[in-house]
Amino acid sequence: MGTMVSYQISEFGGRVEPVRQPIPEPVGREVLLRVTHAGVCHSDLHIADGYYDLGHGSRLTLGDRGISLPHTMGHEVLGVVERAGPDAEGVPTGAPALVHPWIGCMNCGECRRGQENHCAAPQSLGVFRPGGYAEYILVPDPKFLVDIGDLDPAAVTPYACSGVTVYSALKKARPVADDEWLVIMGCGGLGLAAIAIAAGLGIVNILACDIDGAKLEAAGSMATGTLDISRADALDRLREVTGGGPRAVVDTVGAQNTSSIGIGSLVKGGRYVIVGLFGGALELPLPSLPLRAVSILGSYTGSLAELRELIALVKTGAIPQIPVTTRPLAEVDSALADLREGRVVGRVVLTA
């Protein structure tokens, strides 16, 4: 069987450290992949901390949500098939594949409808099951493996989370007509992916918003315009740039400031879609929602079908490439620290 190294947290708030353990043996329809690439996602910081900030001093504790320790994080995973269980027929050994990590119970109505990311009993890889910060990962079923063709493995790895998450959110935010505006709140890895995919989908007017000059600069080559929302008149300026307000806002930050500016800027009938998990609370005068006819939508990751749609779009060459930096898998703890301190522009992908 042999052993492998995985990088685990043993306590919330602690460091990610290497642990040697047996390589798992696939049974049934399981597939064992040797991990070659693993993306570093901001959600891993919340998992490592052990909570989400709900605002007003309240927290959603992830131990109570079903995350047990020790735990191997990493939900943006690409690898090659090592071997498969006896019921997983026709899985080619050595084939590279992107892993769809948003797995449910595979039995409920949501799972049967292909919306496993909405399952009430999720088994997401890197969240509830061992993830890709390891030399090997066990995938429950070959249907969760997505063919990447000739795409660059490092560039495609983040599509398993940041890509499919914003792709799903953009589907909810559309349609945005050619004379209307889409606003992306945040130009971190998630926001840059949203801008690139929105451009690939043919959205004409895209305004990228952030408070970090380096991230706004990275967004500038793909977006129609950029806006520093740390300025005191950010809301007024956003309305001015977009000719009265955007048709849709996709908030990849999910903070009190981005939500208040985003929702406040919308035209009548506009849509605010939130995917970011920074934290805090949202307070609105309730009559403003029907009077302005705005929609507030939460969007959680994406489905397997949406990931396949996205990879097909990527293969056409329509989506601009965002900055991706590669680092050795052994540097996962320092990579997460750099992400926490805002030193990452684009995405970091760890390589074996």
Query: pLDDT digits over 52-111, tens only?
Result: 999 999 999 998 888 999 999 999 999 999 999 999 988 989 989 999 999 999 999 999
Distance CA 351, CA 40 (A): 11
Looking at residue 190, its pLDDT comes to: 97
The answer to whether residues 219 and 191 touch, using CB atoms and an 8 Å cutoff, is yes
Torsion angles phi and psi, residue 135, rounded to 5: -75, -25
Looking at residue 90, its pLDDT comes to: 87
Decide if pLDDT at 1 tops 80: no
Beta bridge partners of 274: 251, 298
Residue ranges in 79-150 assigned as alpha helix (H)? 109-112
Distance CA 233, CA 338 (A): 30
Looking at residue 89, its pLDDT comes to: 87
DSSP string across 23-67: PP---TT-EEEEEEEEEE-THHHHHHHTEEEEETTEEEETTTTT-
Percent above pLDDT 90 for the chain: 97
Looking at residue 45, its pLDDT comes to: 97
Looking at residue 65, its pLDDT comes to: 85
Summarised one tens digit per residue, pLDDT across range 225-282 is 999 999 999 999 999 999 999 999 999 999 999 999 999 999 999 999 999 999 999 9
Q: Classify residue 204 by its DSSP letter.
A: -
User: Exposure pattern of 131-147 as b/e (b: 16+ CB <10 Å)?
Assistant: bbbbbbbbbbbbebbbe
Decide if pLDDT at 156 tops 80: yes
The answer to whether residues 228 and 212 touch, using CB atoms and an 8 Å cutoff, is no
